[in-house]
Every structure is written in C-alpha cells, then in structure tokens.
C-alpha cells in the first residue's frame, strides 16, 4: 500500500551521490520533485527504470522538477551505477530502510524496496503515486502524465 495522494510526504535526510546529504524539507523546500524507490542497483528492471528516467530527464528539468532515486544500496554502489549509466540525477542511499518504510516502499520481512514512484508538488504534497514492481518503464510514463498538475 502506498502513501495517499494529497498527503504530505514524510521528510527525510539521506546521503547522496553528490557527496552531501539531501533533505526534503531543507534542500528541496518549495520545489516539486519525483522520488522513485527501487529494489537494487545493476539489476535489469532497476537499470531499465533508471535509464528511462535519464532519457526523459530533460522534460522534468524543463519544468524545474528534481528526480531522485532511492534504494538500500550504499553510496559507493550508487556512484558506480550512476557513472556507468550516465544518470543526470542523484541517487540517495537508505541503507537502514527507514525512509523506504516511511514511504510504504519496503516489502515486509524481506526488507527489499518496492518499485514505487511519487510526484510531489512544491509544498511536498503527494500529487501522484505509481506502484508496479515489474513495469519499470511505466513509472516514468505515469509521472510524465501527472506533471501537468504540479
């Protein structure tokens, strides 16, 4: 079950591939963004999803919407994944899974992140949610459909 549309997204602060910590409340204050959770770097579905966000990134940037990918991989693995696939957005490391859990993006018992995407408006209210573990490329299509409402 995902967080509900129109609810306020939980704040977080996570280490990023840019070497800093990213805080929703502080670093993204007043900015809309897409936050997508995914199971693991370098897996086929996650690679396809990240590359699709990369390929559509200009559309998000032209609307001043930041994109962030979050998984439980560590920053070092994220950096390798980001470099290998030339990702123009930051990946955030949620090693302990607390942020995944706060966003209802953690599969119980196994502790693996679900594939779930959230579009947040500039007040960080959830505008859209898309959840589909196997349809990696559909996440980007759904977020692109919804960005007109931000």
| CB 38 within 8 Å of CB 71 | yes
Report helix, strand and coil shares of the chain as percent, to nearest 5: 35, 25, 40
Nearest to 91 by CA among 150, 137, 46: 46
Catalytic-labelled residue, pool 33, 46, 51, 100: 46
Reply yes or no on whether 33 is catalytic.
no
Active site positions, annotated = 46
């Amino acid at each position: 079950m995902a967080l509900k549309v129109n609810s306020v997204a939980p704040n977080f602060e996570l280490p990023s591939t840019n070497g800093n910590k990213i805080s929703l409340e502080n670093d993204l204050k007043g900015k809309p963004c897409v936050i997508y959770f995914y199971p693991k770097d370098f897996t086929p579905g996650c690679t396809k999803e990240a590359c699709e966000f990369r390929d559509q990134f200009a559309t998000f940037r032209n609307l001043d919407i930041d994109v962030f990918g979050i998984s439980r991989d560590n920053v070092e693995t994220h950096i390798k994944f980001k470099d290998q696939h030339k990702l123009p957005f930051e990946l955030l490391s949620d090693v302990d899974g607390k942020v995944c859990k706060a966003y209802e993006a953690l599969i119980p018992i196994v502790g693996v992140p679900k594939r779930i995407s959230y579009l947040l408006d500039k007040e960080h209210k959830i505008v859209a949610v898309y959840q589909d573990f196997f349809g990696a490329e559909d996440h980007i299509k759904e977020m692109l459909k919804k960005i007109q409402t931000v």
